A = this chain, B = another copy of it.
């Protein structure tokens, strides 16, 4: 079992939240899926295992995961929110292909540092940030 799942169970206990079949199924599925799922996609995947689980519960569980800090909600401009598991590793940013929609992650410490510099110049305290490069991936450029 995923360590993230255990962390979430700890969070639920702290908050006095109940452990249910639905939450277990949703959380497990979420952490076993590669990043950036929409509510609908996750709901669809979860339903393969347990068709009784409703959209609303997936929605509410993703909110819980977001509040607990174990998931991030992202908006990539395709009209729906996408969620990704938060890693304890470095923060990462995204390369988004405009043709095939593939989302690739990257991290770059130099950019992070420059961001801090810019913020400092403006007397601004950064809580988090978002860097997205939109364009064409290697595969799509060849075609």
Contact = CB atoms under 8 A, between A and B. Distances in A.
Interface of A: 75, 77, 95, 97-98, 104, 106, 108, 110-111, 114-115, 118-119, 121-138, 141
The 4 closest A-B CB pairs, nearest first, are: A123-B138, A126-B135, A127-B135, A129-B133
How many copies are assembled? 2
A121 B111 CA distance: 15
A42 to B, nearest CB: 20
Given A75-B75, A123-B137, A123-B138, A106 B128 contact: no
A133 B118 contact: yes
B135 A124 contact: yes
Contact of A126 (B77, B125, B134, B138): B134
Contacts of A98: 127
Given A108-B114, A114-B114, A125 B129 contact: no
A91 to B, nearest CB: 12
A125 B131 contact: no
A26 to B, nearest CB: 23
Given A95-B122, A114-B111, A129 B128 contact: no
